């Protein structure tokens, strides 16, 4: 066998073993949805002071779907 074919064989075997050893996390499991230990909780009032929420669609800077949905969600919460 030539050097190139040996290299390709060894590297492909290495990749197969590497991929087989990886464990994916289930994003719907209870462990994945627990908050991280090193995250800081931000009080709800400080978020509103930093980022004022527009009260109508005309006041939006970016009148796209997510901005409209965020506005609707904010109105529904309050």
Q: What's the sign of the alpha-carbon dihedral 38, 43, 49, 52?
A: positive
d(CA 35, CA 20): 28
The b-or-e profile of 37-48 (16+ CB within 10 A means b, else e) is eeeeeeeeeeee
Per-residue tokens: 25: 């996390």
pLDDT value of residue 7: 94
**pLDDT tens sequence across 15-72:** 999 888 887 777 788 877 777 776 666 555 555 555 666 666 666 566 667 767 777 7
pLDDT value of residue 14: 94
Residue 65 per-residue DSSP state: H
Domain residue ranges in the chain: 50-78
Provide the whole-model pTM: 0.33
């Amino acid at each position: 066998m030539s050097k190139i074919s040996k290299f390709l064989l060894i590297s492909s075997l290495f990749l197969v073993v590497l991929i087989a050893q990886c464990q994916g996390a289930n994003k719907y499991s209870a462990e994945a949805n627990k908050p991280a230990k090193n995250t800081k909780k931000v009080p709800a009032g400080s978020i509103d002071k930093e980022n004022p929420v527009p009260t109508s669609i005309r006041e939006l800077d970016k009148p796209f779907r997510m901005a409209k949905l965020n506005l609707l969600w904010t109105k529904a919460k309050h």
